[in-house]
Structure 1
Amino acid sequence: MFLLMQIIFFLLSLISHEHEAIAAFVPPYSSVVVPVNKHIDAVKPLYSVQIMTAFVNQQYMHANFLIDLDAPFIWHECILQWNTFPGSCPNDTLCTYPASCEEYQCTEVRTTYSYQNPSCSPVTNDSTIPDWGYCTCPVNVVNPITGSCSQALLNYDELTVNTSNGRNVFTGLYGAYPNAACAPSSSFQSFPANVTGVMALSSSPYALPAYLYDPLKRIIALCLPSNLSAPGIMLYGTGPYNLLPHSNVDIRSLLSHTPLIKLPDSFGYFINVNSIVIKTRSIAIPMNTTAKISTIEPFTTLRTDIYNGVVRRFFKVTQRIPPANAVAPFGLCFNTSTNGTQVSIKVPDIDFMLQDGKKWAISTTNSIKQITKDVACLAFVDSGATSEPAIVIGTFQFEDNFVVFDLENSTFGFSSSLLRKQTSCSNFNFTLTDGP
């Protein structure tokens, strides 16, 4: 009996030590990381993240997903197979498992976390998996480029990304298992070349952030590149965030923060703008004006009353620059040619004054768009007299700005232009290492 008690005590001791070791384990990564690519071959500039999908022939397939901060769930080109086994999925095709129309995920996505668009028709449970008879879960998806509605099939997906300590990319991988949706290839005809999916980064419980668990924290860091030759970066996790050539500088130290605002019937991200200041003069805007952060709109849109005030003030402080005929969709343009030679122009910052006195400075590189060799325009667009939200901050205004959506603390962090810090969104070191 005494021997038996000793054995039991020994086993309990081993288990206790194992649990302590697990509790003490600190992973070498603080974030997961993916490259962000810019595309200009669609009707407007767009940005994608590159994600690993299926593991085929001893290597991962990769797919490019359009970044969408509003989408309620992920959807991409794939086909459903109920019982996937080696050789059953066509080559170079992503096959996934379907969600049944009888499962709670199907009901939730359709009713609470669906796309709200009047062009979408009601879905039915008429479809089944061939040769199996199980009902699938059709859901509506909305093309973020055209606004058109089509149907996809909800599935059980698997996505894989690299881990990072915010400075290096590790060979170690992290898997996420979201409920996504399979859409036919025809759904992506208006997308940039080789972009075959929509990556939902919204606050919806069916967007990607909801499927990235401990030790990761719900913090999305996004840095959109301004050029096509080198990628920007998306990190998910606490940081730090380091960019070359100043790899000893944590980008978090450069950020200002303002509260994120939650609006009903939207999974997107909003902030309050108190005023817009150009060269010490404040443009009056209504109290508690809400601004939406968008990765789909290329240029910041302003409701007509706000737009007119910004244009009048900007025209006054740039009178030394020769004007040019306006080029749609812009209303104020400048001549940037002297004797046939293009010259660069420098204009005052446009400061978005936020809560708690925080200032998001929009510098020349983010406010002036070069249209031709001879013409550059103020890259803000009139969105109409009744548009809501009154301000939508477009991608041109935060290219080469480091922005952070902290879902843990409901705050939005922003750096203003990194070019003023002698770095850019394309300066992350994507060289793979085995770890620290």
Structure 2
Amino acid sequence: MLLLLQIIVITLSFISLEHETLAALPYTSVVLPIHKHTDASKPLYSVQVMTAYVNMQFLKQNLLIDTDAPIIWRTCSLQWNMYQGSCPPDTQCAFPVSCEEYQCTEARTSFSYKNPYCQRETNKSTLPGWGECTCPINVVNPIDASCVQTQLNYDDFTFNQSNGGNVYTGLYGAYPNAACAPSSSLQSFPANVTGVMALSSSPYALPARLVDPLKRVIGLCLPSTLSALGVLLYGDSPYYLLPQSSVDVRSYLSYTPLINVNHSDSFGYYIGVNNIVIKKRSIAIPADAITKISTTEPYTILRSDIYNPVVRRFSMVTKRIPQATPVPPFGLCFSSSTSGTQVSLKVPDIDFSLPEGKKWTMSAANSIKQVTPDVACLALVDGGASFEPAIVIGSFQMEDNFLVFNLENSTFGFSSSLLRKKTSCSNFNYTLVSSY
């Protein structure tokens, strides 16, 4: 009996120690640096991830941020026996999922990108020298909407730990089912970007594949310049940006519910917008209209019945600013030079009024795009009369805004422009700090 009591005490001590260790973990999130790219057909953003560990160091890849993609995919080489040293030097290798495994069927039925122009998914492909079939799945290139046939794999990513204000030397491993794509699928991609990082609500996106102690909360801050990094933090974390290193950015945030939308081909994030307000005049939004958040559409798109009154109102309240010939895809542009000198346009805020009295403000930094040295345009695009969803918030409107997709409680947090708080998305402290 005494021996049994001793075993119970020792077991409880280990359990208590384990809980204390988890509670004392120095990190609350993992961190990924964000790059902005302008060398493709539209501005895009990527996160840098660590992949294979080769010759005592991690290989790295830049993957496009896509809040709508159903699955992570990247260029890599499938190797059945990669753990026996068959992977070529400095090559991104991954272990394939066989068509006979349940993960193959599950992946094909867990998301729907059944583009009629896609190749039919079959189980006939095999790797050279091996009789086992691979698992082809179709994805869509978010830049040119082309169909890409990829091969499902067992992947391996590594991230730095963070407390929301620093990058720790400690590492966190994630092991999602992702997909290997041919290098030919990257022709429309920015230089040095080799795949797509899915951040959607799909069961095969990154948020579904990061586990305890991390909570399903995405903190996203897109940079507005090419020269400095933005930041993606995953986990229920405070957020700190220089120079206010003691101010939790969450104190700047307002929150609105994420809406569940029955779109079989979309795993993106949607919110409700009641109206758009410009200089105290409200433009009503149809009751059936929904709003999507997109990291791959560069500018906010409005259905014509919303776009037209918004542009009319904005034109009216800026009538003292000389207009210029519109530069596609924009419909309202202004002269931004005086006597050959570029000037900063003073325009009113555009407020997106949300449920429960919340307001997401688009200041000039997020509403006016300088397209030439002499011309600046209202960065809204007419989607046409039948465009759905009725509103898509584009990435230009999200730059230097801190956004939080909280999948634990289905809310969306937004800061409006951080520039008005004397900071920006490029002010995260990437100095490496010891975890110990």
- For normalisation by structure 1, the TM-score amounts to 0.97
Q: Cα deviation per residue 1:177-222 (whole Å; 9 max; x = unaligned)?
A: 0000001111111100000010000001110001111111100010
Cross-structure match for 1:98? 96
CA contact (8 A) 1:272 1:288 kept: no
Cross-structure match for 1:304? 304
Cross-structure match for 1:260? 258
Cross-structure match for 1:330? 330
Cross-structure match for 1:417? 417
1:45 and 1:369 mapped to 2: Cα distance?
12
- Partner of 1:273, secondary structure, is coil
**What aligned pairs does 1:276-425 form with structure 2 within 5 A after superposition?**
276-425=276-425
What is the one-letter code of the residue matched to 1:320? R
Q: 1:109 aligns with which of 103, 107, 113?
A: 107
Question: Which is worse superposed, 275-284 or 20-29?
Answer: 20-29
Q: 1:242 aligns with which of 240, 243, 254?
A: 240
Report the alpha carbon displacement of residue 114 of structure 1 after superposing the two structures with TM. 3.7
- Partner of 2:425, secondary structure, is coil
What is the one-letter code of the residue matched to 1:324? A
**What aligned pairs does 1:110-129 form with structure 2 within 5 A after superposition?**
110-129=108-127
Cross-structure match for 1:177? 175
CA contact (8 A) 1:368 1:376 kept: yes
Q: Cα deviation per residue 1:52-100 (whole Å; 9 max; x = unaligned)?
A: 0000000000000000111111000001111113541112211111111
Cross-structure match for 1:79? 77
CA contact (8 A) 1:38 1:225 kept: yes
1:230 and 1:374 mapped to 2: Cα distance?
25
Name the Cα RMSD after superposition.
Answer: 1.1
2:203 and 2:240 mapped to 1: Cα distance?
29
1:383 and 1:214 mapped to 2: Cα distance?
41
Q: Cα deviation per residue 1:202-252 (whole Å; 9 max; x = unaligned)?
A: 001110001111111100010000001110000001110000000111011
Report the alpha carbon displacement of residue 10 of structure 1 after superposing the two structures with TM. 3.2
1:257 and 1:289 mapped to 2: Cα distance?
19
Q: Cα deviation per residue 1:261-316 (whole Å; 9 max; x = unaligned)?
A: 11111210000110000000001221142110000000000001111001100000
CA contact (8 A) 1:274 1:288 kept: no
1:288 and 1:413 mapped to 2: Cα distance?
22
Question: Which is worse superposed, 221-230 or 23-32?
Answer: 23-32
What is the one-letter code of the residue matched to 1:418? L
CA contact (8 A) 2:119 2:149 kept: no
Question: Which is worse superposed, 195-204 or 260-269?
Answer: 260-269
CA contact (8 A) 1:46 1:298 kept: yes
Question: Which is worse superposed, 399-408 or 114-123?
Answer: 114-123
Report the alpha carbon displacement of residue 13 of structure 1 after superposing the two structures with TM. 2.5
Structure 1 unpaired stretches of 5+: none
What is the one-letter code of the residue matched to 1:14? I
- Partner of 1:296, secondary structure, is coil
1:259 and 1:248 mapped to 2: Cα distance?
28
Cross-structure match for 1:54? 52
Q: Cα deviation per residue 1:109-148 (whole Å; 9 max; x = unaligned)?
A: 2123242423223210001122221111000111100111
2:180 and 2:108 mapped to 1: Cα distance?
15
- Partner of 2:435, secondary structure, is coil
CA contact (8 A) 1:273 1:288 kept: no
Cross-structure match for 1:10? 6
What is the one-letter code of the residue matched to 1:79? S
What is the one-letter code of the residue matched to 1:40? T
Report the alpha carbon displacement of residue 24 of structure 1 after superposing the two structures with TM. 2.1
What is the one-letter code of the residue matched to 1:208? L
Cross-structure match for 1:271? 271
**What aligned pairs does 1:135-174 form with structure 2 within 5 A after superposition?**
135-174=133-172
CA contact (8 A) 1:50 1:63 kept: yes
> 1:86 and 1:229, CA in 2 relative to 1: closer, same or farther beyond 3 A?
farther
Identity rate, percent: 67
What is the one-letter code of the residue matched to 2:13? H
1:230 and 1:316 mapped to 2: Cα distance?
36
Report the alpha carbon displacement of residue 8 of structure 1 after superposing the two structures with TM. 4.7
1:8 and 1:275 mapped to 2: Cα distance?
67
1:357 and 1:14 mapped to 2: Cα distance?
54
Report the alpha carbon displacement of residue 102 of structure 1 after superposing the two structures with TM. 1.4
What is the one-letter code of the residue matched to 2:6? F
1:252 and 1:435 mapped to 2: Cα distance?
24
Report the alpha carbon displacement of residue 6 of structure 1 after superposing the two structures with TM. 4.5
Q: Cα deviation per residue 1:133-166 (whole Å; 9 max; x = unaligned)?
A: 1111000111100111021100000000000000
What is the one-letter code of the residue matched to 2:422? Q
- Partner of 2:48, secondary structure, is strand
CA contact (8 A) 2:110 2:203 kept: no
Question: Which is worse superposed, 7-16 or 278-287?
Answer: 7-16
1:147 and 1:275 mapped to 2: Cα distance?
31
- For normalisation by structure 2, the TM-score amounts to 0.97
What is the one-letter code of the residue matched to 2:135? C
What is the one-letter code of the residue matched to 1:322? P
Structure 2 unpaired stretches of 5+: none
* 2:434 aligned with 1:434: yes
1:6 and 1:190 mapped to 2: Cα distance?
71
- Partner of 1:13, secondary structure, is helix
2:171 and 2:55 mapped to 1: Cα distance?
18
1:222 and 1:328 mapped to 2: Cα distance?
28
